[in-house]
């Protein structure tokens, strides 16, 4: 990464890995459940319970990732790697100009993640008793748009950091569709169409039973050595 000091580069690269996994989870969530009403209905048409579990798991992972990345630095053995910690490190380093450039962006990240962290603390990391038994309404439901804004704030922070050292380089955070939710959407669409053809008796029984994955529903589960 050009002239990035080695200690800063090491911290940045580790944060970048975490942020890219966050971006991957967001891309899958967005393409499956947030892109359009038709997609949302189609995924739930396949299996409502499985779709709900996947949606809930992705939402939880996104919220937890955003919260971890904005943790307070901590101290001693409890020091946490986060944007807060990284920015504090920048301000104490020789990269004063970079820290100044990023100051407004770290403030935006804190602002956008405030509600997200509150949601994490009362509903995910801990189960607030009063909220759980409805003695207290707790925080408002977490809007999807709020998570999207927080992720955008992270992207802008990363881009500003990278442009500081590589001003002529364009950076993208898009996940290739072949690795994200669009790939699954395509398969589900064809599967539902196949179901329609079966219901309409337009597909011969022999065609239904063939193919590479013909035994996927009848194959016996693996038994671990311990069993």
Q: Is residue 182 part of a domain?
A: yes
Q: Is residue 220 part of a domain?
A: no
Instruction: Note the helical H segments in 96-143.
Output: 96-119, 129-132
Closest CA to 29 of 115, 144, 141, 171: 144
Structure tokens, 127: 């189960």
Structure tokens, 10: 């090491």
Task: For 83-138, write each residue's pLDDT tens digit.
Answer: 888 888 888 888 888 999 999 999 999 999 998 988 888 878 777 777 667 756 55
- Residue 62 domain boundaries: 6-209
Q: Is residue 218 part of a domain?
A: no
Q: 166 with 1: CB under 8 angstroms?
A: yes
Q: Look up residue 222 and give its DSSP letter.
A: P
Structure tokens, 193: 């169409």
Q: Is residue 116 part of a domain?
A: yes
Closest CA to 32 of 44, 41, 40: 40
Tally of structural domains, the chain: 1
Q: Is residue 221 part of a domain?
A: no
Dist CA 64 CA 113 (whole Å): 11
Task: For 153-210, write each residue's pLDDT tens digit.
Answer: 998 998 899 888 888 877 777 666 566 899 999 999 999 998 899 889 888 877 777 7
Report pTM: 0.84
**pLDDT of amino acid 226:** 60
Q: Is residue 174 part of a domain?
A: yes
pLDDT tier for residue 59 given thresholds of 50, 70 and 90: very high
**pLDDT of amino acid 220:** 83
Q: Is residue 219 part of a domain?
A: no
Dist CA 113 CA 103 (whole Å): 16
């Amino acid at each position: 990464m050009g002239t990035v000091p080695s200690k800063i580069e090491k911290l940045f690269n580790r944060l970048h890995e975490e942020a890219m996994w966050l971006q991957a989870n967001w891309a899958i969530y967005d393409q499956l459940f947030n892109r359009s009403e038709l997609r949302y209905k189609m995924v739930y048409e396949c299996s409502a319970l499985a779709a709900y579990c996947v949606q809930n798991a992705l939402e939880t992972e996104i919220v937890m990732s955003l919260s971890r990345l904005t943790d307070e630095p901590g101290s001693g053995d409890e020091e946490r790697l986060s944007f807060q910690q990284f920015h504090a490190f920048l301000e104490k380093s020789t990269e004063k100009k970079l820290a100044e450039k990023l100051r407004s962006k770290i403030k935006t990240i804190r602002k956008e993640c405030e509600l997200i962290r509150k949601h994490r603390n009362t509903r995910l990391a801990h189960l607030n008793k009063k909220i759980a038994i409805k003695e207290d309404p707790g925080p408002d439901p977490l809007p999807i748009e709020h998570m999207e804004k927080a992720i955008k704030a992270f992207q802008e922070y990363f881009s500003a950091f990278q442009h500081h050292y590589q001003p002529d380089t364009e950076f993208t955070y898009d996940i290739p569709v072949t690795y994200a939710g669009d790939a699954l959407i395509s398969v589900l669409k064809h599967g539902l169409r196949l179901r329609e053809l079966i219901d309409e008796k337009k597909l011969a029984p022999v065609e239904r039973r063939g193919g590479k994955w013909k035994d996927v529903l009848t194959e016996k589960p693996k038994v671990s050595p311990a069993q």
